[in-house]
Chains A and B, each alone.
Chain A
Amino acid sequence: MPPSHVPLSVARKRVFESVFASTSLGNTVPTPLATPNIGFAAPGQSFGLATAAAVPQISQSLTDETWPEQVNWDRAWHVATAFLSFSDIGFAALSLLDDVDDNHLQDLWGLSSPSQEAYDALNFLLAPNSPDGDLHSSLKEYDLVEWYCNEMRRHFLANFRTDILKILHGPDQSDILTKVVAYLYITQRIYYTRFLKYVMPKLDITEQEASFSKLQRGFHAVVAYSLPSSQTSALLAKEITAKAIIILGIEGGATGQSGTTDEHGAVNDSMDVDRLYSTSYREWRKEPSEAIRNKKMTDAEDVQVIIAREHLLSLLEGVQAVGLGGNKGQKVFATVMNAMMTEFIRTSYSGQWDTPSLATQHLRLWVENIFARLVVEVLNVFKSPQSERRSEAHLDVRLSDVEKWQEVGIARLGALRTSELFDVIVEWDSSSGAIEDLKHYAHNPNARYSLANSFIATLNQRLLHPGASTVEILQLYISIIRAFNILDSKGVLLDRIARPIRRYLRDREDTVKVIVSGLLADTADTSPNTTDTLAELSTELAKVHEQYFQSDSGELDWDDMNWIPDPIDAAPDYKKPKNSDVIGSLISLFESKETFVKELQNMLGERLLRRRTDFHREISVLELLKVRFGDGALQACEVMLRDVFDSKRVDSVIRNDQGLVKRQPPQGIVTSDRSTTSSETSERIPQLHAKILSRFFWPTLQGQSFRVPAEILALQQRYSFGFESLKPSRKLTWLNGLGQVTVELDLEDRAFTDEVTTWQASVIYAFQSPSTQPSMHPVTKTVAELCQQLEMSASLVRSACLFWVSKRILTETLRDTFRILEVLPNKEEHDSFGAANNVNMDRPGNPPTVARAAAAANAAAAVAAKESADAATMEKMNLYWQFIVGMLTNQGAMPLQRIVMMLKIAVPGGFPYSNEDLREFLAGMVSQGRLEIASGGNYKIMPKH
């Protein structure tokens, strides 16, 4: 567009320039020290003649006055920038200057006063009212302040960055942050000094502050973005952590850090001062009054803490000043404080379960006074650019923030307690404080859910496995019930947690037994075997009894001032189970009361048959249980008790009638309407007492049957006669296997008296000398003879004989041959006896002792017991046989698999044996000709002939 076409082109140019102002100057960035750049030549002009050439055009150009001004300006720019630019001296030079003062710095950096020319140039460029100020201020390239920032950035990246990185990666890892901050501080000062000295004063007073803060921001940005933020953040975090541990009073950390504070003098030997101001929960909660405790928390400021605080704050000020603080610093600080809170809670409160728990109170105070204080102080230093603009009085931390932190702290405490819950429960009674803490936490559904879940997980891992005994599990379950009743009185949580335990307990075979024996346990003498009975159950039973009625008020109690609504996670139709107390929960473990009552009957039967004068304990337990079960369910037990009491009366009546009463001290005997026991003495007429049991109400009593001595039999008959005349419609069946006998044995050199079982007594009775005169040849009998004579099983006979051997009444001369030991052997005889016995036992060199005989007797008794258990099993198997017969008769031949399946469905209580057991059993039946195996492995019933 040649300028000669004047009118149109001028008009066009005007329009053009109004949009793209001064385009002709736009690209005339001067290259410092290089070519004196005066812009592109105007069209038609030769380069370098701008000044002269411009003149003729003045009249035509509208920018006529700009040209000489532009030149001046350019020149001034060169001079000024040449003066202000930094020489490329690296950090190596700088690092020498650790402790050098300002003057030295100025010397080194050539910050001598500017030459007159430079001075003028600066004046020209920065003069507020410079004619082209308007022109250039809109262009960044021409803004000297902007240029200065860029120059600083360039210089820093070129010279210092690598050096700082070297330090960061350097081998010496201590105090890196301090060093880096110090160096950055120096560089910063270098950059700032020149600016402040030569540029700032020239600026308009209104622009001074803005341009300086621009410079600052520029420097901070360079520092922040040129250094690897992960490393600086890590360093910063490390520093803050180290100090925060001390300041926040985190235990363990404080002592660990004391080494680093050595240089600050007396800190180390002022540990008692430490203690005086400690924020430790353990110390704190010992203080008796709340006022003192509060004061302690607010006043506490240990020397060590003060020092640490000063250190940290000064360090952070440095960090902030060199630009590593700000938002990034805040983030780092937040991360550290987050970790610190967890750490504090962990170190302060874990294992602190005392009641009443002051942990939440302590935590709140701590957050408010110590945690929040540090946050306020640090945030004051780490101002973000935005907050800088706010007034000084403004605090970055609001009260609501503190409250939020307190809540966070409580939640963390809750999480800690949740993780500790299992141990808390194990320690229960001395650890109720922990539950109080949890109470503050378990408000919202999420917390409760996670609480329940994590606890169930722990339970599965630590309790519900075969390694834990049923007693332990029950014990813990009781503790859980108690603890959770405090934690959540509505029982929602307990309900959730108890499920897996209850399910597991139901699978354990001995659960009922343990519970019942616990209920019946004697509270008085629990000390020796607390581990294998749950004696506390019986205490609990008596204790809870009163509350049981009170709490059972059914509908809402309008006067209950402590009423709280059901927890939020309760199902809409949730109703607190009635039996949520310990006994109720245990009793309701089983679907029906029957299981429980049956076991109670067994246990009760066993105890009632013992020879005791009173049964207060049993009566009271029964009464208490009746409250829960109702009279109907426990009727059988009731009858059992009644039987025992009635029989006492009936016994004395019958004995009077039949003239069985003697003046001799009575010997213990037990009998029953269909069950009996007897006793004997060697010479005198034995005394027979009986317990008369109503068979229908008693559990099946297992006992070996055998023939009692004729003398006793006669007595029994007389007794029966007496009973039948007393109660005409009833009949006595003697259960000889049950009962106790007081035995008196007169041997040649000694007399023996003891209370033994009936079968043991019968066996020894069989050894009685036929005549009253002690014969020269002691009675000798074999097991086989005894079996025949007593109609007793061999294992039982042997067991009884070994029992007497252990009492040194009998001796085993040959295998299964026993002889009365009328005279205790003296030393030599003993030896020969021992030798004889050794031969018999096939164990040379192992002299028989009483203890060993006793062990043998026990073993034999076990064998006998097993035999009777086997008999019971066979009886059971007989029942299954009936099922199998019924099945095969009606459904035709079946394979084994199908039989097992059907048995599992049809037999109440399921079929406890495996396929293998059944196969064996069926094979037995096949060999007996009662079954046959048809084609395809089907079992078929054989028709009876």
Chain B
Amino acid sequence: MDYMMEDAQNAAPEAHETAKLGASTQRSDKQSVTKRLQSELMQLMLSPSPGISAFPNADGNLLSWTATISGPSETPYENLTFKLSFAFPNNYPYSPPSVLFKTPIYHPNVDFAGRICLDILKDKWSAVYNVQSVLLSLQSLLGEPNNASPLNGQAAELWDNNPQEFRRLVLARHRSVDDDE
């Protein structure tokens, strides 16, 4: 009886405590994500890399961005620009952001919904990557697709066998997102 009482007395505040702790960790997580994204943005602004750029969306919480990459020269994507959307999870940078092509793109490693097959956005993700490095990887992916594991089999085949047709399909599929808006 006595022990039970004691237990009850001890248990209650603890449970309370953990609940509170949970809430506060969550909050501090979110703060640290924001802080991290803010510094990434600053870094992007201070040392812009040619051909890539990114900026948070206007919703004000910094967790979704829009990025722009221009196709590398001497690839079928030359002179084309592509928009991408970034959605950062709450535990970023411990989980990768989900990245999608918003601009329709014809590419062996990108499907028609814009989903990307890139190892660093999946299992090879590490907290040292950031928006800039992801964008640079994607830019190089445009020039050097990984044809071993294509999402778009036709594209993979044409890349190897028929560059002219590939280029034609790229141009046919590409359309500027801005024009739609």
Contact = CB atoms under 8 A, between A and B. Distances in A.
Contacts of A908: 38-39, 42
Q: By DSSP majority rule, is chain A's interface helix, strand, loop, or mixed?
A: helix
Interface in A884-911: 885-887, 889-892, 898, 901-902, 905-906, 908
Nearest to A904: B60
Contacts of B62: 905-906
Contacts of B68: 889-890
A289 interface: no
A890 B181 contact: no
Nearest to A881: B45
Given A891-B58, A891-B66, A879 B46 contact: yes
Interface string B42-66: 1011101000011111101010011
Contacts of B42: 908
A882 interface: yes
A883 interface: yes
B54 A886 contact: yes
Contacts of B39: 908
A886 B49 CA distance: 11
A890 B44 CA distance: 13
A450 to B, nearest CB: 34
Contact of A890 (B38, B45, B48, B65): B65
B73 to A, nearest CB: 13
A739 B140 CA distance: 48
Contact of B45 (A882, A892, A902): A882
A253 B39 CA distance: 70
Contacts of B57: 891
Nearest to B85: A890
B41 interface: yes
B53 A906 contact: no
B83 to A, nearest CB: 7
A454 B65 CA distance: 49
Interface residues of A, number: 16
Interface in A855-893: 879, 882-883, 885-887, 889-892
Given A879-B45, A890-B67, A908-B42, A885 B53 contact: yes
Contact of B56 (A892, A898, A905): A905
Nearest to A892: B178
B181 A887 contact: no
Interface string A897-936: 0100110011010000000000000000000000000000
A887 B65 CA distance: 10
A530 B178 CA distance: 62
A889 B55 contact: yes
Contacts of B181: 892
A908 B43 CA distance: 11
Nearest to B57: A891
Nearest to B65: A890
B176 to A, nearest CB: 10
Contacts of B66: 890-891
A934 to B, nearest CB: 11
Contacts of B178: 892
A886 B65 CA distance: 11
A930 to B, nearest CB: 14
A906 B41 contact: yes
A229 B16 CA distance: 66
Contacts of A901: 58
A898 B45 contact: no
A823 to B, nearest CB: 56
Contacts of A906: 38, 41, 55-56, 62
Contact of A886 (B38, B55, B60, B83): B55
Nearest to B83: A890
B54 A898 contact: no
Contacts of A902: 55-56, 58
Residue in A883, A890, A892, A905 whose Cβ sees the most chain B Cβ within 10 Å: A890
Contacts of A886: 41, 44-45, 48, 53-55
A883 B44 CA distance: 9
B54 A890 contact: yes
Contacts of A887: 55
Contacts of A905: 56, 60, 62
B83 A882 contact: no
Residue in B38, B53, B62 whose Cβ sees the most chain A Cβ within 10 Å: B53
22 contacts: A879-B45, A879-B46, A882-B45, A882-B48, A883-B55, A885-B53, A886-B41, A886-B45, A886-B53, A886-B54, A886-B55, A889-B53, A889-B68, A890-B67, A890-B68, A892-B181, A901-B58, A902-B56, A905-B62, A906-B38, A906-B62, A908-B38
Interface of B: 38-39, 41-42, 44-46, 48, 53-58, 60, 62, 65-68, 83, 178, 181
Interface of A: 879, 882-883, 885-887, 889-892, 898, 901-902, 905-906, 908
Given A889-B68, A898-B58, 12 more contacts: A883-B55, A886-B45, A891-B55, A891-B58, A901-B58, A902-B55, A902-B58, A905-B56, A906-B38, A906-B55, A906-B62, A908-B39
Query: What are the 4 tightest A-B residue pairs by CB atom distance, in nearest-first order?
Result: A882-B45, A890-B66, A890-B55, A886-B55
